[in-house]
Amino acid sequence: MTRKVLIVGGVAGGASVAARVRRLDERAEIIMFEKGPHVSFSNCSLPYHLSGIIEDSEKLVLSSPETFKKRYNIEARVNQEVIKINRDAKTVTVKDYLTDQTYEESYDKLVLSPGAKPIRPNLTGVNRDHVFTVRNVVDIERLNAYIKYNGIKDIAVVGGGFIGVEVAENLRLAGYNVTLVEFANQVLAPFDADMAQILHKELIDQGVELVLNDGLAEISEQCIITNSGRKIEAQAVVLAIGVQPETDLAKDAGLEIGETNAIKVDSNYLTSDKHIYAVGDAIEVYHRLLQKPTRLPLAGPAQKQARAAADHMYGMPIRNNGVIGSSSIHVFELNAASTGLNAKTAEQAGIKYDYVYIMPQDKVGLMPDSHTLHFKLIYEYPTGRILGAQAIGKGNVDKRIDVVATMITMNGTLEDLKDLELTYSPMLGTAKDVVNHAALVGLNLLHGRYKEVKVSEVRELVESDAFIIDAREAHEFNAGHLKNAINIPLSEFRDRLDEIPKDRPVYIHCRSGQRSYNMVMALTHLGYDHVYNISGSYLGISLYEYYHDLISGRDKIVTNYNFN
Amino acid sequence: MTRKVLIVGGVAGGASVAARVRRLDERAEIIMFEKGPHVSFSNCSLPYHLSGIIEDSEKLVLSSPETFKKRYNIEARVNQEVIKINRDAKTVTVKDYLTDQTYEESYDKLVLSPGAKPIRPNLTGVNRDHVFTVRNVVDIERLNAYIKYNGIKDIAVVGGGFIGVEVAENLRLAGYNVTLVEFANQVLAPFDADMAQILHKELIDQGVELVLNDGLAEISEQCIITNSGRKIEAQAVVLAIGVQPETDLAKDAGLEIGETNAIKVDSNYLTSDKHIYAVGDAIEVYHRLLQKPTRLPLAGPAQKQARAAADHMYGMPIRNNGVIGSSSIHVFELNAASTGLNAKTAEQAGIKYDYVYIMPQDKVGLMPDSHTLHFKLIYEYPTGRILGAQAIGKGNVDKRIDVVATMITMNGTLEDLKDLELTYSPMLGTAKDVVNHAALVGLNLLHGRYKEVKVSEVRELVESDAFIIDAREAHEFNAGHLKNAINIPLSEFRDRLDEIPKDRPVYIHCRSGQRSYNMVMALTHLGYDHVYNISGSYLGISLYEYYHDLISGRDKIVTNYNFN
């Protein structure tokens, strides 16, 4: 008997389900409904049309209904929307936007992959012609055409998530004056505030006007007005505040909706109706580290869910590991990637954790394109179980995060991570990789071999006149240092022990933490009981303080920043 | 009581032991002996001086005795060789090459990190002035000066291991005529023959004269003569045949030597004398996949061993996981990396295995620098346990191998690898990463969902007039195809089923294996019992056949190669 499978949505999740069903069942009748004109386009690549990195927007469309038909015998009906599920009759009601007609189609199995839609806040001016969102190829073509043919100069992008930052970047690369407005105190929520500073600096350095801690209040013809009353010139506005799962169809059909307001599914991606599956951005998934439902609107998980749903439809046992949340982004000259929990999320979830922040070179220092790699590793206290990581730099940061993602999935600990035998050659890495290095530091902390304070605590130390040693050489110190730090280079401290007090805490930093670590260990063995390494060291302090100083206009605690 | 630690060798392993001991014990007396003039140089970077990528050879030296003294209170005695260990007296005899004097130095703990030396075969002409090996900064400076100041044009590099290939590459980049001679039928043993073809092609395309299956027989003033009698013009010769562990000192002292002819150590890197540790290229290590001793002269493991030895010296429990062997190399425009076992080694060890060979894009195809990534994944049969992987391409290949290395270490299976949630953004990868993809193919094979033949078996199929379908479109077929293949595009096969026989095996390929996979699945469901996907597909066939045809001059089985 021929099985009839209907699929709602023809992009990441939907197209993957269709292709997988075909491979499992050559005789199935497969119909995929897409309300827009395109199936199987690369949503993640949309912003790159704005800069011309993808010049031809047609390239964004990876396949056509004709190809689906010819290669896979899959019927892709575009410009047709499933507007109702008739669960008892096992049919859907379809609206054809080209003929304006409505009809019914029956199913044996139905798969919902409707995605998520950009949030449009209910604000004055939000429906003006120069206000855009970015969800599909039509959207990006419209935006691109509008700003090109109307000679737009100033564009406001509202929302500092992945789409907002990528749209801002690509518009800036195309030469527009871009203001990026974000309600929170940082862009890109997967990163902790200390790491996000690096991205803020890059956005600013590349000419994006960055407005944090401020939200959109109103849109008028030539400008937007923020909550704080700031007027920002903008003849075009892109809303990238976030997305919300498309649940209307499911709700209307009485399917269960989860606590995160996305479609609820079981471990096999079945909804509360055993003939209806749901996958992709519209569903809620299980976070294996937080042990609770979450939403994770990303392409990778959508594809995995699609395959799993199709497999289950054909009686194959599937494994649902939940999600950990891995992602990456390219921001001008930087790459940034993260996986698992950040410190913020771990804190909110009440998980006991600690973290390491290091910044070694990403490849052998004497190689021409060796760069500083900022790396933060979060682990559970006291078990040392790896919980998450974030990496930012010009080089291969995603490599390190993928390794940590693998470790998290396999329940690895700091001990496992330190021992990892990774590939190395001078053009591609360092003999002791960043992840090995971070694990070693983490173990030192976990085992109590030395103590440290975080980069975010340094201002208080300076303001309370703590005893801070700068372990760099004099010429480095003179180029910029903490206002009340004392310069005792690692190469001199053994002869200058009488300058270091034993009766009060001593805080030590250098450029990146390596020299100060050695001095901390030595002083600890010499009987100094309260010696602390300053995590992140002068590079981290500079980055952290730079942006905070910039937005708050507060007094600098350094004589000069040093970012190199 | 002050502990006195002597260290033989001042490069990777030795310098790491010294630094770690200092961090664990501020009061220890630490003396490091190095028979050459430099401590702590970057051995792995030596070849890059020849091309000028590292122009100033002094930069290869990462630290000086003065810095060791000032920063770490470590005494680095250069130009001094430990020539004898007096185990009963717990002293060593040291020869100072500057004063030509000999003296004794006592120890509480001794660490041997003497490294490995380049093999110099006993051949006519091997001691001529124009014959070089590459082990340290002095070597590379001498070689570089010789070829520059003598106006050398033709250079022979003997040995196609890491050093040989890197030296050949850098000499070629500097404009010399370079012949690379390798005794085996491929360069770079960590790669299987099918993967090595890609590297062979790159070496040839970049102008290196590649001579395989041939060894060095004799060196005369203007040329070398190979075993096969071939005369190769060369006014300079670099021997990079391999290295052998420096064991003379240990042997002389009666320390146990292992079955691989390297110094034998226990799980704590102690030799058969409980006061003497040994680390680095001179020792034998335990291969956790082969479950036997092996030698692995690489910088990463040396550093880990060094730290472990120092920790054990101070009573800390250490964990010895053995090694799996991870490495990478940059060859002109390609990156290549591998980890664990290759098919060759698994075969030799009698381990039941199978493998997957795929070649997807390394990032979203429409991004400007998206490239084909050749990926081979080896797993145990029938468990699906991951045993090894190899990756070659212009992009981020080491990322994928590091993920697999992590999986191997954590005893991961194909099922684990397929589910891995890795970072993705279009500038950095694909939603379904190469490793996920390879694991899915592996599971299909393991579960018997379809069958495949390997790229190395295609010639036999063609020659025996097997029924081979080329599933690409006609214009692709016309640009080059297997001599007796029939072109039935995936987009047409459903209407042309009558052309496909049911009574004999059917072999299918396309460009990279994706379309043929779909056709194989469809035919299987339609009752074709003997349908096989050709692993590696036309790209893999082209690469595999190209080089074999080139060296053996045999008949081509394709009308035209296609490498893109």
Residues B33-82: pLDDT tens digits? 999 999 999 999 999 999 999 999 999 998 999 999 999 999 999 999 99
B510 is catalytic: yes
Structure token digits, residue A95:
């609206």
| CB–CB contacts below 8 A, A to B | 254
Give tens-digit pLDDT for B522-543: 999 999 999 999 999 999 999 9
Q: Which among A323, A425, A518 has CB closest to B421?
A: A323
CB within 8 Å: A302 and B409: no
Q: Which of B240, B405, B434, B510 is catalytic?
A: B510
> Which pLDDT band holds residue B224 (cuts at 50, 70, 90)?
very high
Q: Which among A59, A324, A396 has CB closest to B396?
A: A396
Peptide linkage before B293 cis (omega within 30 of 0): no
Nearest to A536 by CA among A343, A395, A370: A343
Out of 3.40.640.10, 3.40.250.10, 3.30.420.10, 3.10.129.10, which CATH number does the structure's domain A452-552 have? 3.40.250.10
Q: What is the mean pLDDT of residues B349-372?
A: 94
Sheet of strand A223-226: strand arrangement: A216-219, A223-226, A231-233
> Please, is B476 exposed, middle or buried when counting C-beta atoms within 10 Å of its C-beta (0-12, 13-18, 19+)?
middle
pLDDT number for residue B553:
78
Query: Crossing angle, helix B12-24 and helix B299-313, to 10 degrees?
Result: 30
Least Cα separation, residue A396 to chain B (angstroms): 8
Query: What is residue A519's DSSP assignment?
Result: H
pLDDT number for residue A554:
84
Strand partners, B277: B111, B270
Give tens-digit pLDDT for A192-212: 999 999 999 999 999 999 999
CB within 8 Å: A405 and B421: yes
pLDDT number for residue B552:
75
Give tens-digit pLDDT for B109-156: 999 999 999 999 999 999 999 999 999 999 999 999 999 999 999 999
Q: Are A280 and A305 in contact (CB under 8 A)?
A: yes
Length of chain A: 564
> Which pLDDT band holds residue B547 (cuts at 50, 70, 90)?
confident
Residues of A in contact with B63 (CB under 8 A): none
pLDDT number for residue A12:
87
Estimate to the nearest angstrom the gap between the alpha carbon of A133 and the chain centroid. Answer: 19
pLDDT number for residue A432:
94
Interface test with B, best of A58, A385, A402 (most B CBs within 10 A): A402
Sheet of strand B467-470: strand arrangement: B451-453, B531-534, B506-509, B467-470, B486-487
Q: Are B263 and B305 in contact (CB under 8 A)?
A: no
Q: Which among A421, A423, A491 has CB closest to B398?
A: A423
Residue A100, helix vs strand vs coil: coil
pLDDT at position A1 over 90? no
Which is higher by pLDDT, A553 or A511?
A511
Residue B522: closest C-alpha in chain A = A26
Q: Are A530 and A559 in contact (CB under 8 A)?
A: no
pLDDT at position A302 over 90? yes
Whole-prediction pTM value? 0.97
Nearest to A137 by CA among A246, A57, A243: A57
Query: What is residue B186's DSSP assignment?
Result: S
Domains B131-241 and B333-449 share a fold: yes
Top CATH class of B333-449 equals alpha beta
Least Cα separation, residue A240 to chain B (angstroms): 17
Sheet of strand A80-86: strand arrangement: A80-86, A91-96, A101-106
What type of residue sits at position B269?
Answer: Y
CATH architecture of the domain A4-115+244-313 equals 3-Layer(bba) Sandwich (3.50)
Nearest to A286 by CA among A339, A245, A322, A326: A322
Residue B420, helix vs strand vs coil: coil
pLDDT number for residue B476:
97
Pairing of strands A4-8, A29-34: parallel
Q: Are B35 and B327 in contact (CB under 8 A)?
A: no
CB within 8 Å: A398 and B429: yes
Angle at B469 between CA B467 and CA B473, to 5 degrees: 160
Write down the mean pLDDT value for chain A.
Answer: 96
Interface test with B, best of A425, A473, A476 (most B CBs within 10 A): A425
CB within 8 Å: B398 and A429: yes
Residues of A in contact with B471 (CB under 8 A): none
Least Cα separation, residue A211 to chain B (angstroms): 25
Q: Assign residue B452 a region (left: φ > 0; alpha: ψ between -120 and 50; beta: otherwise).
A: beta
Give tens-digit pLDDT for A31-56: 999 999 999 999 999 999 999 999 99
> Please, is B319 exposed, middle or buried when counting C-beta atoms within 10 Å of its C-beta (0-12, 13-18, 19+)?
exposed
Nearest to A357 by CA among A388, A403, A396: A388
Q: Which residues contact A281 (CB under 8 A, 6 or more apart)?
A: A13, A115, A116, A243, A245, A246, A295, A297, A302
In CATH, A131-241 is 3.40.710.10: no
> Which pLDDT band holds residue A238 (cuts at 50, 70, 90)?
very high
> Which pLDDT band holds residue B548 (cuts at 50, 70, 90)?
confident
Nearest to A538 by CA among A294, A323, A372, A380: A372
pLDDT number for residue B502:
95
pLDDT at position A25 over 80? yes
pLDDT number for residue A485:
97
> Which pLDDT band holds residue B554 (cuts at 50, 70, 90)?
confident
pLDDT number for residue B132:
98
DSSP structure string for A329-396: EEETTEEEEEEE--HHHHHHTT--EEEEEE--BSS-TTSTT--BEEEEEEEETTT-BEEEEEEEESS-
Length of chain B: 564
Give tens-digit pLDDT for B444-481: 999 999 999 999 999 999 999 999 999 999 999 999 99
What type of residue sits at position B448?
Answer: G
Q: Assign residue B256 a region (left: φ > 0; alpha: ψ between -120 and 50; beta: otherwise).
A: beta
The Cα–Cα gap between B39 and B15 comes to 8
Domain residue ranges in chain B: 4-115+244-313, 131-241, 333-449, 452-552
Peptide linkage before B489 cis (omega within 30 of 0): no
First to last CA, chain B: 67
ipTM of the complex: 0.96
> Which pLDDT band holds residue A414 (cuts at 50, 70, 90)?
very high
Write down the mean pLDDT value for chain B.
Answer: 96
The Cα–Cα gap between A492 and A514 comes to 16
Percent of chain A with pLDDT over 90: 96
Strand partners, B264: none
Q: Output Rg (C-alpha) for chain A, integer angstroms.
A: 27
Percent of chain B with pLDDT over 90: 96
CB within 8 Å: B398 and A428: yes
Interface test with A, best of B57, B305, B369, B402 (most A CBs within 10 A): B402
Query: Crossing angle, helix B537-552 and helix B193-205, to 10 degrees?
Result: 70
Sheet of strand A75-78: strand arrangement: A75-78, A29-34, A4-8, A109-112, A276-278
Interface test with A, best of B421, B433, B436, B473 (most A CBs within 10 A): B421
Q: Are B37 and B60 in contact (CB under 8 A)?
A: no
Least Cα separation, residue A330 to chain B (angstroms): 7
Structure token digits, residue A254:
């009485």
The Cα–Cα gap between A422 and B337 comes to 10
> Which pLDDT band holds residue B513 (cuts at 50, 70, 90)?
very high
The Cα–Cα gap between A543 and A558 comes to 11
CB within 8 Å: A424 and B53: no
CB within 8 Å: B424 and A327: yes
Residue A431: closest C-alpha in chain B = B300
φ, ψ dihedrals at A478, nearest 5°: -65, -20
Least Cα separation, residue A285 to chain B (angstroms): 13
